[in-house]
Structure 1
Amino acid sequence: MTKLTQLPSWLALTDHVQEIPHMRDLFAQDSQRFDNMSLSAAGLFLDYSKNRATDKTLSLLFQLAKESNLSTHIAAMFKGDKINTTEQRAVLHTALRDNSGKATLVDDINIAPEIQTTLDKMAQFIDAVTSGRWQGYTGKKMTDVVSIGIGGSFLGPKVVSQALRPYWSGHVNCHFVANVDGTSISEKLKGLNPETTLFLMSSKSFGTQETLTNTLTAKAWLLEHGAKQQDVAHHFVAITSNVAKATEFGIDPKNIFPMWDWVGGRYSLWSAIGLPIAMLIGMDNFKALLAGANKMDKHFASAPFEENMPVIMAMLSLWYTNFYGAQSNVVLTYDHYLRGLPAYFQQLDMESNGKTTTLNGASVDYSTGPVIWGGEGTNGQHAYHQLLHQGTGLIPADFIMPLQSHNPIGEHHIQLASNCFGQTQALMQGRTYEESLSELSSSSLNEQDKALIAKHKVMPGNKPSNTLLMDKLTPDTLGALIALYEHRTFVQGVIWQLNSFDQWGVELGKILGNDVLERLESSKPSQTLDASSNGLINLFRQGTL
């Protein structure tokens, strides 16, 4: 494997940075820049014209992708090769949304029938719950569902369910619990009726500490309210690989849904992990979510790099991370339903590419995995947008907005759009000292104060952004949007020569956390760890400062 920083395109890009003019000049030089630097795919429209990029920039970035054998890596993922090399696993979340019926092999076994069987089982289960045939221990139908998970088993279903609120059927309410903090589940249970509450427990091992602890608390709550052990089967369903443990807990084996090694947690909402989503919006809409993602999969797998939305977004982000020193990317959603999306993309990207070791075991000597953060517009404009406009760091931004609102009230949506587009314009063009001074010309300030205030009003501009639009936020367009960011993350991992599908940093925290737990539960003072850890453990055991 050729060292990334020695590839001809990488070396050329290092020199090319100095050749890029201000974006004001780029737009002045090319009246067709918007048309030339925008494209549509899978129901999404991307305007990437407000980037520090010329035709030469893009050509070099695509050359870097080719020199990194990106096409080969894309084909390997879709084919089911074990591209998760540290765990020897295939990466086939794309197969979950492929309804073509074609065979996809994992260890010479066609997984397509099992995927379809699981979808059918999900549909039957949802129908039983929403129709009232599924009843609790007192014979009442379910009104509330509590989804218990952590990481990808929690965040994906929660964010997608929140985003698709206009499509909720109204048959059940859904609540999400992840944090092991007892306050989280306590507050959820306070307003629920144990006779009409169903719990979905998502854990591949049925032993994830946070998830199991919350599940045991939920079980104890049920039993405290008059249910018996045999009633657990009426109130608990599991998505897990450990059928034996789930059965021992009291869950009917018929109500256990599979989790597969070839689907990583942060890519799992398309599987039975998405059961809470499907329960809220119905199976038809859940299948539309899958179909939208599949459209983006097909685009990603077939479009040339120059017309490939995930590739373009990935390479531009990499351009800023590796050649401009950008340490973060911000995601700005101009739709209230999408307010949770930045946190979802944060997990997707940072857990995938927050790595320091390449596929061949070498230490990287370049930046990987920028910090992903963000929030909803227009709230952020009155907070962190100040940093975007006048801060010293470069923070590339993605703006996401539907053209049509689910709630078209008065002037709300047109004002939302004006803010979204106005922010991208302001980031790009900025405001010069002369422009600032001119704006103050009619004020009552003296000339000296005008000159001083004008300096404070200067914004350098030349701050890059992408704008993603869709006709309307639907299951289909949301599926495409999430798949877009999945593939964008994968592309960057390929270029950085990383395994984007393991998470050993997460594993270490679990291991050390279990060791600390034993010490917290012990009657003996902790003495054998570092001084800080010993001190904190012993303070906690005291229960007071």
Structure 2
Amino acid sequence: MTSPIPNLPSLQQLPEWKRFADAAEAASVRTNDLRILDAAGINVDITGQVASEELEAAGQALLEARQFGQLRSTLLSGGIANLTEDRAAWHTVLRAPAPIADVAAERQRMNEFVRQADSERRWRNIIHIGIGGSDWGVRLAINAFGYAGAWRHVRFAANIDGHAMQGALAGLDARETLVVLASKSFTTAETLQNGQRAREWLAAAGLENPGEHMAAITARPDLAAAWGIPQAHIFKLWDWVGGRFSLWSSVSLTTALAVSSDVVAGMQAGAAAMDNHFAQAPFAQNAPIQMAMAGVANRSVLGYGSLNIAPYDFRLAHLVPYLQQLDMESLGKSVDIAGNPVGVPTGPVVWGMPGTDAQHTFFQWLHQGSDGAPVDFIVCQQADHSWPDHHTSLLANCLAQREALLNGKTFDEAQQESLHAGADAQHAPWLAKHRVHAGGRPSSLVVLPKLSPYTLGALLALYEHKVFVQSVVWGINPFDQWGVEYGKVLAKGIVQELAGARPGPDEGQRHDASTRHWIEEFRKS
């Protein structure tokens, strides 16, 4: 490692942090003080977050104390932003209108590959094999823009569970199928094991050269070539592209084949527009910054342990797991970049599902549960179907649920409601206690004019930059994931033990009693 070990002051030692925390505790949700930000064509309504002039000033001072401006410049210019791995996190260059030469060349290669396949009407079926960042973004984009069907049929296999691969292969004609392997390292266990099953399936179908029916996106083209994948089918990643930010690269080959290269280009353009907003908009009008500071106040000061994502659009069903990985893999850290405990709660649990299904699943807990959670409502002002009454109902439900969380219902209001519903004077006060809504529960409303590749790209970049700003405040590195890596290392040893190998004395003692027991039990299966 060549980067010097940073000497970062502890967050709690900063007077700017105490000022911010005190201001957040004293602030309130000001429902009559409209705060709507315009960011790359998206409206971000943060009226439902706690606010005050003191909190606004304290947030700006805190970011200055954390050298936010310098760190943002490092990120956007391709400097060493990922200190623990001594490399850049330059995913923004992947969607730049005029990127560096390597990126432009790979973009052109991918588009030409898709154009040729389309012109030949080749590969009616695509099996996309990847996991995490090599999977969720592709699922999201295809579900968003191919939900009504496309001439190519796409299946996904991410999980190591053999049922996932079995289901992906079932009923397909191998001669009309392309298998896409997306793995930055080309050593990802799940991807290679599933890929091996796909290669065997292609060979069993009588194909002389199964590699001709495979493509790879990886930072190790040599390993992909060793698998027999032709060089023309191998697309380059770079070590400075984190998996959860790789959607903007040739990982979207499957997206381009399924719903067109224009969709990929549109998403890149929307994300680039959000990059410009993030780089140039002043603090008070900068949507990623404002969402981030609201999130820091909610998590680290006000004590909310989670963040609910409520996309009121059926096509955005995969947005929740996409944002779960982005947020929780980036911010699931408790040690700052200097190696010291952060000292305050960091990244929240991110969860949710599309409305209105969510209203019949967990909104009861959001409204009247003891803890509650901030909610990001996401909705499209215009629909793309021909049933306006459906969309009117969808918009009404989104606004109503948010209003209920913001304003609540007082005891007096609940009592009058009970009386009007026919309760007698004795029972009305009792019923009213069950109908009270506390209100004042924070939320944001993100409004897309309509769902297009451009607006989806801008939306995803909005959340990327929000996560980065929060990492700056907490002083953590959002670009590594050592917690994930540790489990992978342990799994390699256990795989060998389950296959019959006996652990060495140190390894056997390392296992806890329960793990030792189940290794022995599973070996008998």
What's the TM-score once normalised by structure 1's chain length? 0.92
Summarize deviations over 1:163-191 as a string: whole Å, max 9, x none.
222697x3422211100100001011112
For residues 332-351 of structure 1, the aligned pairs below 5 Å read 332-351=310-329
For residues 10-29 of structure 1, the aligned pairs below 5 Å read 10-21=17-28, 23=29, 26-27=30-31
Could you tell me which of 411, 419, 430 is aligned with 1:441? 419
Matched with 2:251 is 273
Distance 1:173 1:431 in 2: 49
**Paired residue type of 2:464:** E
Distance 2:271 2:422 in 1: 57
Matched with 2:512 is 530
Summarize deviations over 1:388-421 as a string: whole Å, max 9, x none.
1011114111000011111131410000000000
| Structure 1 residues 433 and 143: CA distance shift in structure 2, 3 A | same
Matched with 2:293 is 315
Q: Is the 8 A contact 2:10 2:340 kept in 1?
A: no
Distance 1:122 1:284 in 2: 12
Q: Does 1:539 align with 2:521?
A: yes
Could you tell me which of 128, 132, 137 is aligned with 1:156? 137
For residues 262-411 of structure 1, the aligned pairs below 5 Å read 262-411=240-389
Distance 1:227 1:77 in 2: 46
For structure 1, the residue ranges without an aligned partner over 5 or more in a row are 102-111, 134-140
Q: CA RMSD in A?
A: 1.6
Matched with 2:174 is 194
Distance 2:24 2:453 in 1: 40
**Paired residue type of 1:303:** A
Larger deviation, residues 527-536 vs 461-470: 527-536
Matched with 1:109 is none
| Structure 1 residues 255 and 7: CA distance shift in structure 2, 3 A | same
Q: Is the 8 A contact 1:353 1:489 kept in 2?
A: yes
Could you tell me which of 6, 9, 23 is aligned with 2:13? 6
Distance 2:514 2:426 in 1: 55
Q: 1:442: Cα distance to partner?
A: 3.0
For residues 31-430 of structure 1, the aligned pairs below 5 Å read 33-34=33-34, 37-100=35-98, 112-132=100-120, 141-165=122-146, 170-228=150-208, 231-430=209-408
Distance 1:467 1:530 in 2: 46
Secondary structure of the residue aligned to 1:469 is: strand
Secondary structure of the residue aligned to 1:369 is: coil
Distance 1:84 1:57 in 2: 30
Number of residue pairs matched by the alignment: 514
For structure 2, the residue ranges without an aligned partner over 5 or more in a row are 1-7
Distance 2:422 2:453 in 1: 54
Secondary structure of the residue aligned to 1:522 is: coil
Summarize deviations over 1:198-237 as a string: whole Å, max 9, x none.
0001112222100000000011111122223xx1132111
Distance 1:410 1:95 in 2: 39
Q: 1:13: Cα distance to partner?
A: 2.8
Q: 1:9: Cα distance to partner?
A: 2.5
Matched with 2:3 is none
Matched with 1:105 is none
**Paired residue type of 2:63:** A
Summarize deviations over 1:264-306 as a string: whole Å, max 9, x none.
0000000011111111222222111100000000000111111
Summarize deviations over 1:95-142 as a string: whole Å, max 9, x none.
0111135xxxxxxxxxx1111110111011111222227xxxxxxx31
Q: 1:364: Cα distance to partner?
A: 1.7
Distance 1:461 1:160 in 2: 35
Secondary structure of the residue aligned to 2:200 is: helix
Secondary structure of the residue aligned to 2:84 is: coil
Q: Is the 8 A contact 1:167 1:281 kept in 2?
A: no
Q: 1:474: Cα distance to partner?
A: 0.2
Matched with 1:432 is 410
Distance 1:175 1:124 in 2: 23
**Paired residue type of 2:13:** Q
Distance 2:219 2:39 in 1: 36
Structure 1 runs, 4 residues or longer, greater than 4 Å off: 523-527
Matched with 1:136 is none
Q: Is the 8 A contact 2:98 2:104 kept in 1?
A: no
Secondary structure of the residue aligned to 2:85 is: coil
Q: 1:17: Cα distance to partner?
A: 4.1
Matched with 1:106 is none
Distance 1:408 1:58 in 2: 43
| Structure 1 residues 18 and 288: CA distance shift in structure 2, 3 A | closer
Distance 2:291 2:21 in 1: 19
Matched with 1:514 is 492
Q: Is the 8 A contact 2:78 2:89 kept in 1?
A: yes
Provide the identity percentage.
Answer: 37
Distance 1:315 1:443 in 2: 43
Q: 1:157: Cα distance to partner?
A: 1.1
Summarize deviations over 1:12-42 as a string: whole Å, max 9, x none.
2333344334x4xx33xx5xx11xx111111
Q: 1:527: Cα distance to partner?
A: 4.9
Q: Is the 8 A contact 1:166 1:406 kept in 2?
A: no
Distance 1:248 1:305 in 2: 50
**Paired residue type of 1:536:** W
Q: Is the 8 A contact 1:152 1:268 kept in 2?
A: yes
Q: Is the 8 A contact 1:130 1:171 kept in 2?
A: no
Q: Is the 8 A contact 1:130 1:172 kept in 2?
A: no
Q: Is the 8 A contact 2:184 2:243 kept in 1?
A: no
Distance 2:311 2:25 in 1: 32
**Paired residue type of 1:531:** A
